[in-house]
């Protein structure tokens, strides 16, 4: 079906009804009457293929039509492979995600962003856990903060039904640099064992979220970024 569609894209031989054409090849191009170009194609035992019908005069090639279609199909396949496909990867949290699970998902989010994919992280509130929606928001803000060197915030935490969503987009290659807050956090974590206390029972101060110098950081250009910073500082 696809081959038939491609065949119908081009006029060949007697289907070319204009008075003259420009024939291109390895030796350059030449304008000549269409009848002369058809005679040349017969002598060379190839086809006259119109490759640019809107040019004045239309541009043609002397080539075996089956070979031409194969070359076009191969070129399209190569172009498709070169196209960067941006996928949206989902990461799900519960409002009381423990530290081990958090770090595991943080690692995967880094990999997704480094591969050029977007990340949609969300907290799912089941039943009465909706009472902890502010806790879920702080969790997502912390998540965005920990990924600062890998991403930019497209949408800050927003509650939609029983889910609170955070959208992150990858930074351009070569832009990501380790932030001061990240280096400070790593130094502190190296000095003590990472706590495995559930997020629900941990005070934000113990989460090691350094927000003193965030005014120009990941939340700077996000909508309601200032409000998000205040929630992390509480």
- Residue by residue, pLDDT tens for the chain (234 residues) are 455 556 678 999 999 999 999 999 878 889 999 999 999 999 999 999 999 999 999 999 999 999 999 999 998 888 877 776 778 999 999 888 899 999 999 999 999 999 889 999 999 988 877 777 888 899 999 999 999 999 999 999 998 988 999 999 998 754 444 455 555 666 666 665 444 444 444 343 444 444 444 444 555 545 555 565 565 555
Topology classification of domain 11-66: Ubiquitin-like (UB roll) (3.10.20)
Distance CA 37, CA 34 (A): 5
The two structure tokens encoding residue 13: 């031989």
Q: For the packed helices 133-146 and 225-233, what is the interaxial angle rounded to 10 degrees?
A: 100
Fold of 88-233: Translation Initiation Factor IF3 (3.30.110)
Compute how many other C-beta atoms are within 10 angstroms of the C-beta atom of residue 10: 19
With vertex at residue 137, the alpha carbon angle to CA 148 and CA 179, rounded to the nearest 5 degrees, is: 15
* Residue 33 confidence (pLDDT): 95
Q: Which of 201, 211, 228 is nearest to 146 (CA)?
A: 211
pLDDT score at 219: 54
Residue 8, pLDDT score: 73
d(CA 162, CA 124): 6
Structural domain boundaries in the chain: 11-66, 88-233
Residue pair 61/68 in contact (Cβ under 8 Å)? The answer is yes
Tokens of 199: 């997020």
Give the per-residue pLDDT at 5.
Answer: 59
Give first-to-last CA distance, the chain, whole Å: 62
């Amino acid at each position: 079906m696809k081959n038939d569609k491609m065949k119908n894209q081009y006029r060949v031989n007697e289907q070319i009804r204009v008075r003259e054409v420009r024939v291109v090849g390895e030796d350059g191009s030449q304008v000549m009457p269409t009848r002369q170009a058809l005679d040349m194609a017969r002598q060379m035992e190839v086809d006259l293929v119109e490759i640019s019908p809107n040019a004045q005069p239309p541009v043609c090639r002397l080539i075996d039509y089956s070979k031409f279609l194969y070359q076009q199909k191969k070129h399209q396949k190569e172009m498709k492979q070169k196209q960067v496909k941006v996928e949206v990867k989902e990461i799900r949290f519960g409002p009381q995600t423990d530290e081990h699970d958090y770090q595991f998902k943080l690692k995967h989010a880094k990999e997704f962003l480094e591969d050029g994919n977007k990340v949609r992280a969300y907290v799912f509130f089941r039943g009465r856990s909706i009472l902890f929606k502010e806790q879920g928001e702080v969790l997502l803000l912390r998540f965005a903060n920990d990924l600062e060197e890998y991403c930019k915030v497209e949408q800050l935490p927003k509650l939609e039904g029983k889910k609170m969503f955070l959208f992150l987009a990858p930074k351009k290659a070569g832009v990501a640099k380790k932030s001061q807050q990240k280096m400070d956090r790593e130094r502190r974590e190296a000095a003590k064992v990472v706590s495995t206390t559930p997020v629900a029972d941990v005070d934000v101060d113990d989460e090691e979220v350094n927000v003193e110098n965030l005014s120009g950081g990941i939340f700077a250009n996000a909508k309601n970024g200032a409000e998000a910073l205040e929630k992390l500082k509480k």
